[in-house]
């Protein structure tokens, strides 16, 4: 049904498995090889999303700039929704804002997460539980998994990360654990790898959310809806990782940790650079009013309070110039007898 997602995801995972499997001290059957394949799958997807993410950041920054004018428009046209929508579109065009670009990076990551979860789950199709197809251990080892051959499936099942199968979870049924071969991994071995990853993922999610919220302006932070979303990001999402961690495969926890590593680097490198560029950006109105490079600025004295024009030449003359338009009283000349 979602093969258009599963095949590309398995393809990227397959490429990285071949790359790291060719390293002599790792090999294709190493758990570290499979773990690195999952991590670099995340990095590949996030690298593809760099351009949409940059556009999202710029859109958010420009929306902060236009917020005062947007508030004024809402007050001015509060009784005319059609006119308000028209003026808002004009304002967005003036600032180069495209609201839909803000959701693109998030929307594109969701199918990748779903696809990776399904592909990893499909390496072990034994059992009748969630994701199981009722295959025997022998059948499962002989059936390919999307772009992975039957030999790759067996390699995945044999691979261990510190003694735990990479696609096993703390709640994986015992019947499915038997497909990973002997010795059958226990829940304690799996927990020894999963629990540290859960804690790292939860802490990283919290601090990345904190860094993102710190960039919000005061108007957004004081909004009740924004405050509720911020609370969800700060506390509910990290808590959800801890609560849902026992049901997630080790490879999915690796995905979560790698995604947070990329987000941290992106916030402290890409975000800062874009914010600096946006702060140095000169608005079109100011740029149009500025003098040409090398030209002396011309001040329109006629537009200044108290300025006058020379009645003979018509040129502006400041009050202190002593010209015809000056308010300063003229000194009387003494006549010499």
Confidence of residue 54 (pLDDT cuts 50, 70, 90): confident
Using CA atoms, how far apart are residues 194 and 98, in angstroms rounded to an integer? 40
* d(C-alpha 115, C-alpha 294), whole Å: 58
* Lowest-pLDDT range of 1-15, 57-71, 175-189, 322-336: 322-336
Peptide bond into 183 cis (omega under 30): yes
How far is the C-alpha of 278 from the C-alpha of 55, rounded, in Å?
A: 12
Whole-prediction pTM value?
0.72
pLDDT tens per residue across span 261-291: 998 888 888 777 776 776 666 445 444 444 5
Of 82 and 225, the one with more pLDDT = 82
What is the pLDDT at residue 303? 44
Mean pLDDT, residues 21-29 taken together? 92
- Measured in whole angstroms, the distance separating CA 43 from the mean position of its chain's CA atoms is 13
Give the SS3 label for residue 173: coil
pLDDT given for residue 144 in this prediction: 93
Alpha carbon 85 to its chain centroid, in Å, reads 28
Q: Report residue 93 CA to chain centroid gap.
A: 23
pLDDT at residue 330 tops 80:
no
Quick: pLDDT tens for 144-195: 999 999 999 989 988 899 999 998 999 988 888 888 877 888 899 999 999 9
């Amino acid at each position: 049904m979602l093969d258009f997602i599963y095949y590309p995801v398995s393809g990227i995972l397959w490429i990285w498995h071949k790359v790291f499997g060719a390293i002599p001290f790792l090999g294709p059957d190493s758990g570290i090889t499979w773990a690195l394949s999952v991590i670099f799958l995340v990095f590949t997807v996030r690298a593809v999303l760099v351009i949409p993410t940059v556009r999202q950041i710029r859109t958010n920054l420009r929306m902060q700039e236009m917020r005062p004018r947007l508030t004024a428009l809402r007050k001015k046209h509060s009784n005319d929704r059609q006119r308000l929508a028209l003026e808002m579109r004009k304002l967005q065009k003036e600032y180069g804002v495209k609201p839909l670009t803000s959701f693109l990076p998030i929307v594109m990551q969701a199918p990748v997460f779903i696809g990776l979860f399904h592909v990893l789950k499909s390496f072990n199709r034994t059992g009748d539980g969630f994701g199981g197809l009722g295959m025997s251990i022998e059948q499962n080892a002989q059936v390919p998994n999307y772009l992975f051959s039957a030999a790759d499936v067996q390699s995945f099942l044999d691979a261990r990360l510190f003694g735990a199968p990479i696609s096993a979870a703390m709640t994986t049924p015992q019947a499915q654990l038997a497909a990973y071969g002997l010795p059958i991994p226990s829940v304690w071995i799996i927990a020894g790898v999963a629990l540290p990853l859960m804690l790292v993922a939860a802490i990283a999610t919290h601090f990345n959310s904190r860094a993102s919220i710190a960039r919000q302006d005061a108007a957004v932070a004081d909004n009740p809806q924004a405050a509720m979303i911020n609370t969800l990001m700060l506390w509910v999402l990290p808590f959800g990782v801890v609560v849902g961690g026992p049901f997630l495969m080790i490879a999915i926890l690796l995905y979560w940790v790698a995604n947070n590593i990329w987000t941290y680097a992106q916030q402290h490198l890409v975000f800062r650079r874009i914010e600096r560029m946006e702060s140095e950006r000169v608005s079109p109105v100011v740029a149009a009013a500025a003098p040409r490079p090398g030209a002396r600025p011309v001040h329109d004295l006629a537009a200044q309070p108290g300025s006058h024009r020379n009645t003979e030449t018509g040129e502006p003359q400041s009050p202190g110039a002593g010209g015809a338009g000056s308010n300063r009283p003229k000194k009387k000349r003494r006549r010499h007898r």
